[in-house]
Amino acid sequence: MRSSNPVLTGRGFARINPDVLGNRGTDSRDLNSIESRPSSAPMSIDDVVIKTAGLFAVLLAVGAFAWRANSPGLALIGFIAGFALAMVNTFSKKVRPALVIAYAACQGLALGTISALYETQYDGIVSQAVIGTACAFGGVLLAYRSGKIRVTPKFTRVMMGALIGYLVFAVVTLFTGRPTGGLGFLIAVAAVGLATMFIVMDLDQIEKAVAARVPQEE
């Protein structure tokens, strides 16, 4: 089952055959016979980790700047430019590193500013969100690597149904107000868990891309 992230489904990722890569027990000779081998060097897990860490560093640096500036205008710039860059990076036929880095910077502008605004209203909420997300991601990553979580068509359907349900709930609360107290806390935990579980589909797609020797530029 393909990732929900459109960036992980086009270009070089299109060479992944879901019928061949449907499970982890597939023979490596089958993985490498999906199409002709790419002429450039194939991607590796190290590539993914290093480049993701680099982009995350850009996001943190710009986010720290936006946090100190605490200007709603920066968040607006981050949202609009980030959306435009997301569309370009998704549908571009070629990977453009400069635009990918710019997207990370825009995300930093938006997240840094929003975090500062929330911290002003609710002291300590940002650190709680960061710790909660890190713990949830770490737990899901360990479960995925141990094989306890597998991406199947049923898993994807359940996740998409949960996402649609949460989006409907979010729209309703725009008019009725968000729940507070214990219920509000449980809903926040559920939101973090839902977002983290979607990363599982990205991890699965990346793992299959490495096995299929997708070009390093991806």
User: Which of 140, 141, 115 has the alpha carbon at shortest distance from 128?
Assistant: 115
Q: Give CA–CA dist 168/42, Å, rounded.
A: 41
Give a yes or no: residue 184 inside a domain.
yes
How far, rounded to the nearest angstrom, does the alpha carbon of residue 81 sit from its chain's CA centroid? 18
**14 pLDDT tier (thresholds 50, 70, 90):** low
The residues that bridge with 215 in the sheet, in sequence order, are 42
* Averaged pLDDT of the chain: 81
CB 187 within 8 A of CB 179: yes
pLDDT at 63: 94
Number of domains in the chain: 1
Give a yes or no: residue 217 inside a domain.
no
**34 pLDDT tier (thresholds 50, 70, 90):** very low
**20 pLDDT tier (thresholds 50, 70, 90):** very low
Give a yes or no: residue 218 inside a domain.
no
pLDDT at 32: 45
CB 60 within 8 A of CB 108: yes
Residue 203 has pLDDT above 80, yes or no: yes
Q: Give CA–CA dist 180/186, Å, rounded.
A: 10
Q: Give CA–CA dist 167/186, Å, rounded.
A: 16
Supply the DSSP symbol for 113. H
Q: Give CA–CA dist 178/80, Å, rounded.
A: 26
CB 108 within 8 A of CB 63: yes
Domain span including residue 57: 6-18+25-211
Rounded average pLDDT over 24-44: 54
Residue 9 has pLDDT above 70, yes or no: no
User: Which of 129, 115, 19 has the alpha carbon at shortest distance from 63?
Assistant: 115
CA atoms within 13 A on the CB side of 155: 17
Residue 92 has pLDDT above 60, yes or no: yes
Query: Does the model's pTM come out above 0.75?
Result: no
Q: What is the three-class DSSP state of 38?
A: coil
Give a yes or no: residue 1 inside a domain.
no
pLDDT at 97: 92
Give a yes or no: residue 216 inside a domain.
no
Give a yes or no: residue 53 inside a domain.
yes
Which pair of tokens denotes residue 116? 């500062």
**35 pLDDT tier (thresholds 50, 70, 90):** very low
Give a yes or no: residue 97 inside a domain.
yes
What count of other Cβ atoms lies within 10 Å of the Cβ of residue 126? 17
pLDDT tens track for 153-187: 888 888 889 889 888 888 887 787 777 777 777 88
Q: Give CA–CA dist 137/16, Å, rounded.
A: 25
